[in-house]
Structure 1
Amino acid sequence: MKLKVIKSVRTNNFNDDLLLHKITKLWERASNDLANQVVTIYGVYHNYESDYKGDYSLSIAIEDNNSEPLLELPNHTKYEIFKVDKGEELGVINTWRKIWEREDAGILARAYSYDFEKYYPEGEIEIYIALK
């Protein structure tokens, strides 16, 4: 899958005091750039330092076959897909917590290549976790 990166940031879930500020600002800037567009938006997690406790990059991207791809997700990757409860105010955060719990329990073997959140125009959200 070829994606055009709108904005990116580098951060850490546990050691970056500006984590929420960085991610909030990233989404705000990307939303401004994508205003009035009805597209599926991707939050792509990549360039992992180690596991979910290490540094990583988060890029906001869209599918764009008309321009040079700035980020290409490998087609051969197997993913486990987690549906986010969009009725929950913290649905995305709670889904990530479940993913980390499954990993810590040894029942989710993550590849730490490219993971992504997929935001559909109609409001559905899915999180794709790359598997070993």
Structure 2
Amino acid sequence: MKVTRIKKLMISGISVVTNNEFEMSEENGKIAGLWEEYFQKDIYKKTFDKANSDFMYGVYSNYESDVSGNYKVTVGVEVTKSKNAIVIEDKKYLVFTKQGELPMVVVELWEEIWEYFEKNSEYERAFEVDFEKYAKEDEVEIYVSIK
């Protein structure tokens, strides 16, 4: 885990609104279906102004409140123009990294993050824009916005 600052990052893709309660049940969860739709509809090829980056992103934004409220999830890639993109500018993040089999490693890491913030008061979540960065087939970095 490390602290970093993102100067500017723009992500474009497809989105859905959900919450953690929905995501805990297989029949109501929307995130897995969003990833499937992204690949089935070949959204990557339809995305304009892609940056020279091989990374995929899962972005959490538009938080209603905290871990119990609704939020928007976007699956996408980095782009060079802000039109129709989520723009992250000058934000401070706590970065968590984990290796393992996707998608279970992502679920496990989010559980570790929730536990970390429940037990640790050194950093406070900002609930602004958080994101998962998929750098390798078996590794995820999760960037959690902090105050």
Provide the TM-score with structure 2 as the length reference.
Answer: 0.75
Query: Of 69, 87, 98, which aligns to 2:112?
Result: 98
Q: Output the CA distance in 2 between the equivalents of 1:106 and 1:81.
A: 15
Confirm or deny: 8 A CA contact 1:43 1:61 kept in the other structure: yes
Q: How many matched pairs?
A: 129
Quote the residue 2:72 is aligned against: 57
> Matches of residues 1-132 of structure 1 in structure 2 within 5 Å?
1-15=8-22, 18-20=27-29, 22-32=30-40, 33=42, 34=44, 39-65=54-80, 68=83, 70-74=85-89, 76-87=90-101, 90-107=104-121, 108-121=123-136, 123-132=138-147
Aligned pair in 2 of structure 1 residues 127, 19: CA closer, same or farther (>3 Å)?
A: farther
Aligned pair in 2 of structure 1 residues 123, 54: CA closer, same or farther (>3 Å)?
A: same
More strand by share: 2
Confirm or deny: 8 A CA contact 1:3 1:61 kept in the other structure: no
2:31 match: secondary structure: helix
Confirm or deny: 8 A CA contact 1:81 1:129 kept in the other structure: yes
* Structure 1 counterpart of 2:18, one-letter code: T
Confirm or deny: 8 A CA contact 1:2 1:72 kept in the other structure: yes
Q: What's the offset of the Cα at 1:10?
A: 0.3
Q: What's the offset of the Cα at 1:91?
A: 1.1
5+ residue gaps, structure 1, are none
* Structure 2 counterpart of 1:42, one-letter code: Y
Quote the residue 2:49 is aligned against: none
5+ residue gaps, structure 2, are 1-7, 46-52
Deviations 1:62-112 (A, max 9, x none): 1111673521011x2111110022247621111111111111224341011
Confirm or deny: 8 A CA contact 1:3 1:69 kept in the other structure: no
